[in-house]
């Protein structure tokens, strides 16, 4: 399919990328597909904080905090300022991580690579509801997602499912086989530790084959049994490793049958073998392909595109660089209609990109995202943030976008709005929006109209 | 009845440019916001309460799978305490014990205000209720609960939206969702308002009018902005009318309170109740004050002239897989939040409480047995709570299957004895006056064999 170059450059930057920075549409114009293909990197996505703290360090900090707090509890000082301050410092780490990710999105020249990484981070959602997950979401994305986004899906699945953040978020860390040595020992002490099927269920339902793949409650339970032992070192035991730890004594002994296939007893490798099969399943290929098409192209994804992505996934053994390349080469992905409504995060990032500005404090970002319904690092469930426009286009949320845009535009009174509009939208700027921007009374008003225009609200 | 507004140009310059200025919704909107009056925006200029005879309905969805056996513990069921172990709610009269409803059932000790209503016959439980979905997936079960269909992903709109449509011509009955996003239950052909606390938006009357023009052909942004501005204007009235004078901390109450988890938390994730022990307790009390304020503000919305008669509220974070607690702890904190919200709502509604029904439901219940991590996994039947001054006195709604082992669903969950749609249909028919045929075919498609629950209102 031939593609109008002006439109192609604009689509590359706004739909595949995170919104155009000044000059970006011009650079993409001569070869929009090549512009995107060049962003695929076998090294994975960029790290928001290349020298940032690892999850090991964060867990060690958390452990130190927990020990101090226990001490303070014993002396009745649990509510003392130092304890509160320590908790706040740990939470602040999450804010720092989030701001760094926003800044990466705002400044990167490889907008598609970053959007691709954000898609997978949302696919493997870890939410910052609890103190221990809050401090680990940033390292999780850096360690378990970004290095793998252009590699084999299976490797990312394994990295995610064995990362302390996921093990804590979906309660896997504490799951114990009912017939394991640990359970039998505990029973003598009158305790009854046992299975927690949360992570096993969500791997099946959300991360791999999807809810329609025909598995049963028995498959979920069997997979949960296979996963017992996948845990992490206790943060309050300094001698434990601060990270993934397979606990053989918590592992449910015996063979398991999951979705009709038998897996012999093999310790930690038993669940690993299940994951390999799940990653290779045609159900997974279709589930992931549908999600990708829905994210990049339309809430109602074109079946031909889903088929093409599915084929690539299966033929390449789940190689995500190949899947990304197929997406870029698919004509359906270049439909001139902008049908995706930006999430609040995408809207804000693209606003900074369009105006070549950047936030310098997490407070500039967090409060507004919170008000628009997308609290930083805090997706409402393991399913992640919703994709569909109706979820984000609530009346109140639109008013909040308008209010934020007005405030944002106040600081841009020295900019030429028509130039900004042209840079940001290129051939996607409609005559009506252009006319409305031109008729504005003040420059900030014009910039607000640009940011609130139907074409800037979509991608 | 108010006189319709005469549209006035939003800005003098534009009146000189007839091609640009259209004296339609835009002018009316700008005028109304300028006068601080919103009643003129009603599509028929009428007190919409007449459409429902002043009746009001609030539907609360508790997301994550609320544990019915903790919300309304069957203390008198001999199997309850053994199945539940450390997370069993203590007997009537014990420390942190259940608050008695009858010989068998109590309410969780955190539900003090709800219990006081129950003693007056203004709160009842349906202790073994479920949607037709049996898959134990949050997302499928919520879809079925909110779409009103018997199978998952069959209907893209919500039953409450279709019910509002069935209550009268478009615009006669108004619906409101609380939170930054519209839940499925209220999505559909009727444009529902949505509201979450936050800053004022109408200080500049020019910009909204310009955007309304720019959105003239935009099916998504046009209606959304119009509804958002209208609601925002009403919010000012509601807030100034609410006895609790909420504005100073509304912005905090809001976003975290409703849009996201019920335990209000600071912008960067610290404060979910529960498994992470450190920060939980100190934040409990401010959370309760916010919950009460939010309930009161919603009530303010519903009693002001032109207010919503139908509202939907989402509460999150009931997925208690680990360390759910008993009389105190994680789930207790969430239920205290729910109770404070209900209390704020009931009190602020004042006389209108007599005309109100509140239904609180969840996508599924949780396993009858405590799991290996002092929590519970995804189950089947749970408890729905029905409240309101309009209720008739009575016992539990539906039958109690008991927790005898051979009565447990799949040897694991409370067995469902009542279809969720039967309860919703009963409230819609007996309280809101929706006729049976519409309920059977449109609101809950293909549900003719599911009879509405009778005798509750």
Q: Nearest to residue B283, comparing CAs of B269, B298, B303?
A: B269
Rounded to the nearest 10 degrees, the angle between the axes of helix A81-107 and helix A55-74 is 160
Assign A458 to helix, strand or coil: strand
| Residue A191 pLDDT > 90 | no
In A297-340, which ranges are continuous DSSP H helix?
303-315, 320-329
Average pLDDT over residues A401-419: 90
CA distance A190 to chain B (A): 12
Burial of A428 (0-12, 13-18, 19+ CB in 10 A): buried
First-to-last alpha carbon distance for chain B, in angstroms, is 30
- Give the residue on B whose Cα is nearest the Cα of A380: B260
Tens of pLDDT, residue by residue over A124-155, are: 999 998 788 999 999 999 999 999 999 999 99
In A170-302, which ranges are continuous DSSP H helix?
181-188, 198-202, 217-227, 268-280, 282-296
Tens of pLDDT, residue by residue over B307-356, are: 899 999 988 889 898 889 999 998 999 999 999 999 999 999 999 999 99
Tens of pLDDT, residue by residue over A351-395, are: 999 999 999 999 889 999 998 989 999 999 999 999 999 899 988
| Residue B24 pLDDT > 90 | no
| Residue A236 pLDDT > 90 | no
Q: Nearest to residue B58, comparing CAs of B369, B353, B447?
A: B353
Question: CA-to-CA distance for B448 and A38, rounded, in angstroms?
Answer: 58
Contact present, B347 and B120 (Cβ < 8 Å): no
Q: Two tokens at B36?
A: 């601080």
CA distance B271 to chain A (A): 6
Chain A interface, best mutation among B330, B372, B373, B410, by max A CB count within 10 A: B372
- A373–B180: do the CB atoms touch at under 8 Å? yes
Q: What pLDDT is recorded for position A295? A: 98
- B372–A211: do the CB atoms touch at under 8 Å? no
Task: With cut-offs at 50, 70 and 90, classify the pLDDT of residue B234.
Answer: low
Looking at every residue in chain A, the average pLDDT score rounds to 93
| Residue A410 pLDDT > 70 | yes
Chain centroid to CA B17: how far? 46
Tens of pLDDT, residue by residue over A385-406, are: 999 998 999 888 999 999 999 9
Q: Tokens 């669903």 sit at which residue?
A: B409
List CB contacts (< 8 A) between A65 and chain B: 278
Q: Two tokens at B414?
A: 């409370």
CA distance B230 to chain A (A): 9
Q: DSSP strand E in B131-212: where?
A: 175-178, 193-195
Of A131, A175, A449, the CB nearest to B276: A131
Q: What pLDDT is recorded for position B41? A: 27
- Give the residue on A whose Cα is nearest the Cα of B255: A371
- A454–B221: do the CB atoms touch at under 8 Å? yes
Question: CA-to-CA distance for A267 and A184, rounded, in angstroms?
Answer: 18
Assign B129 to helix, strand or coil: strand
pTM above 0.80, yes or no: no
Of A92, A183, A195, the CB nearest to B371: A195
DSSP A20: P
Q: Nearest to residue A99, comparing CAs of A450, A406, A352, A296?
A: A352
Q: What pLDDT is recorded for position B205? A: 61
- A132–B276: do the CB atoms touch at under 8 Å? yes
CA distance B62 to chain A (A): 13
Question: Computed from CA positions of residues B231, B237, B243, B248, in that sequence, does the dihedral angle turn out positive or negative?
Answer: positive
Of A171, A363, A389, the CB nearest to B220: A389
Of A79, A130, A367, the CB nearest to B272: A130
Q: What pLDDT is recorded for position B66? A: 97
What region does B298 belong to: left with phi over 0, alpha with psi -120 to 50, or beta? alpha
Residue partners of A189: CB distance under 8 A and separation at least 6: none
CA distance A169 to chain B (A): 10
Question: CA-to-CA distance for B250 and B1, rounded, in angstroms?
Answer: 32
Distances (CA, A) of A293 to A384, A430, B56, B238: 16, 25, 42, 43
Contact present, A48 and B239 (Cβ < 8 Å): no
């Amino acid at each position: 399919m031939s593609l109008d170059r002006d439109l192609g450059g604009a689509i590359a930057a706004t739909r595949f990328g995170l919104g155009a920075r000044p000059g970006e549409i011009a650079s993409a114009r001569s070869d929009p597909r090549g512009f995107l293909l060049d962003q695929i990197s076998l090294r994975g996505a960029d790290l928001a904080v290349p020298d940032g703290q690892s999850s090991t360090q964060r867990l060690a900090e958390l452990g130190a905090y927990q020990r101090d707090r226990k001490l303070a509890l014993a002396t009745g000082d649990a509510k003392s300022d130092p304890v509160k301050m320590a908790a706040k410092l740990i939470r602040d780490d999450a804010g720092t991580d989030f701001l760094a990710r926003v800044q990466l999105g705002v400044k990167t020249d490889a907008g598609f690579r970053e959007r691709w990484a954000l898609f997978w981070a949302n696919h493997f959602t870890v939410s910052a509801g609890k103190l221990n997950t809050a401090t680990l979401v940033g390292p999780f994305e850096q360690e378990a997602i970004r290095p793998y986004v252009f590699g084999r899906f299976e490797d990312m699945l394994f990295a995610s499912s064995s990362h302390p953040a996921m093990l804590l978020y979906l309660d896997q860390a504490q799951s114990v086989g009912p017939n394991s040595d640990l359970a039998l020992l505990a029973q003598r002490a009158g305790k009854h530790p046992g299975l927690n099927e949360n992570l096993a269920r969500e791997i099946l339902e959300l991360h791999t084959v999807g809810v329609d793949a025909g598995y049963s409650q028995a498959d979920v339970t069997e997979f949960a049994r296979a996963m017992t032992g996948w845990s992490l070192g206790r943060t309050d035991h300094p001698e434990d490793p601060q990270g993934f730890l397979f606990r053989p004594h918590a592992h449910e002994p015996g063979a398991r049958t999951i979705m009709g296939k038998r897996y012999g007893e093999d310790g930690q490798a038993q669940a690993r073998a299940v994951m390999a099969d799940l990653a290779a399943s045609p159900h997974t290929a279709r589930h992931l392909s549908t999600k990708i098409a829905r994210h990049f192209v339309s809430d109602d994804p074109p079946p031909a595109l889903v088929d093409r992505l599915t084929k690539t996934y299966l033929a390449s053994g789940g190689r995500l660089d190949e899947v990304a390349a197929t997406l870029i080469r698919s004509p359906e992905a270049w439909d001139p209609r902008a049908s995706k409504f930006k999430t609040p995060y995408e809207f804000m990032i693209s606003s900074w990109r369009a105006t070549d500005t950047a936030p310098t404090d997490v407070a500039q970002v967090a409060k507004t995202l919170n008000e628009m319904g997308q609290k930083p690092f805090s997706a409402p469930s393991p399913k992640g943030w919703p994709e569909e426009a109706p979820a984000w286009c609530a009346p109140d949320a639109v008013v909040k976008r308008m209010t934020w845009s007005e405030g944002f535009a106040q600081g841009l009174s020295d900019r030429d709005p028509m130039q900004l509009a042209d840079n940001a939208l290129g051939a996607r700027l409609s005559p009506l929006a252009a006319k409305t921007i031109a008729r504005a009374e003040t420059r900030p008003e014009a910039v607000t109209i640009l940011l609130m225009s139907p074409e800037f609200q979509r991608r | 009845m108010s006189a319709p507004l005469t549209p006035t140009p939003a800005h003098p310059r534009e009146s000189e440019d007839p091609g640009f200025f259209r004296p339609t919704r835009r002018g009316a909107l700008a005028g109304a916001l300028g006068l601080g009056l919103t009643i003129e925006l009603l599509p028929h200029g009428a007190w919409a309460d007449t459409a429902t005879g002043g009746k009001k309905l609030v539907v609360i969805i508790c997301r994550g799978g609320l544990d019915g056996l903790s919300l309304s513990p069957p203390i008198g069921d001999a199997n309850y305490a053994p199945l539940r172990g450390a997370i069993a709610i203590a007997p009537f009269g014990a420390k942190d014990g259940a608050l008695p409803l009858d010989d068998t059932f109590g309410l969780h000790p955190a539900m003090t205000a709800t219990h006081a209503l129950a003693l007056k016959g203004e709160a009842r439980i349906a202790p073994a209720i479920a949607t037709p979905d049996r898959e134990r997936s949050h997302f499928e079960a919520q879809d079925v609960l909110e779409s009103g269909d018997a199978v998952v992903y069959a209907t893209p709109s919500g039953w409450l939206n279709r019910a509002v449509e069935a209550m009268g011509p478009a615009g006669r009955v108004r619906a409101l969702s609380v939170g930054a996003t519209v839940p499925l239950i209220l999505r559909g052909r009727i444009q529902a308002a949505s509201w979450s606390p936050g800053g004022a938006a109408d200080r500049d009357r020019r910009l909204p009018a310009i955007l309304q023009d720019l959105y003239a052909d935009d099916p998504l942004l046009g209606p959304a902005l119009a509804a958002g501005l209208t609601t925002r204007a009403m919010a000012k009235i509601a807030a100034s009318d609410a006895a609790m004078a909420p504005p100073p901390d509304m912005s905090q109450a809001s976003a975290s309170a409703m849009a996201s988890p019920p335990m209000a938390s600071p912008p960067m994730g610290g404060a979910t109740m529960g498994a992470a022990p450190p920060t939980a307790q100190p934040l409990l009390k401010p959370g309760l004050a916010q919950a009460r304020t939010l309930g009161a503000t919603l009530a303010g919305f519903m009693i002001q002239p032109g207010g919503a008669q139908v509202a939907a509220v989402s509460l999150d974070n009931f997925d208690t897989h680990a360390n759910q607690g008993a009389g105190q702890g994680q789930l207790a904190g969430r239920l205290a939040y729910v109770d404070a919200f209900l209390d704020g709502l009931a009190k602020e509604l004042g006389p209108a409480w007599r005309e109100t029904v509140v239904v609180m439901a969840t996508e599924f219940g949780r396993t009858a047995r405590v799991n290996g991590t002092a929590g519970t996994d995804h189950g089947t039947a749970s408890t729905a709570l029905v409240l309101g001054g309009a209720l008739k006195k009575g016992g539990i709604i539906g039958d109690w299957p008991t927790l005898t082992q051979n009565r447990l669903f799949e040897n694991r969950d409370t067995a469902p004895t009542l279809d969720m749609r039967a309860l919703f249909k009963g409230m819609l028919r007996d309280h809101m006056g929706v006729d049976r045929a519409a309920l059977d075919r449109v609101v809950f498609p293909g549900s003719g064999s599911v009879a509405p629950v009778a005798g509750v209102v």
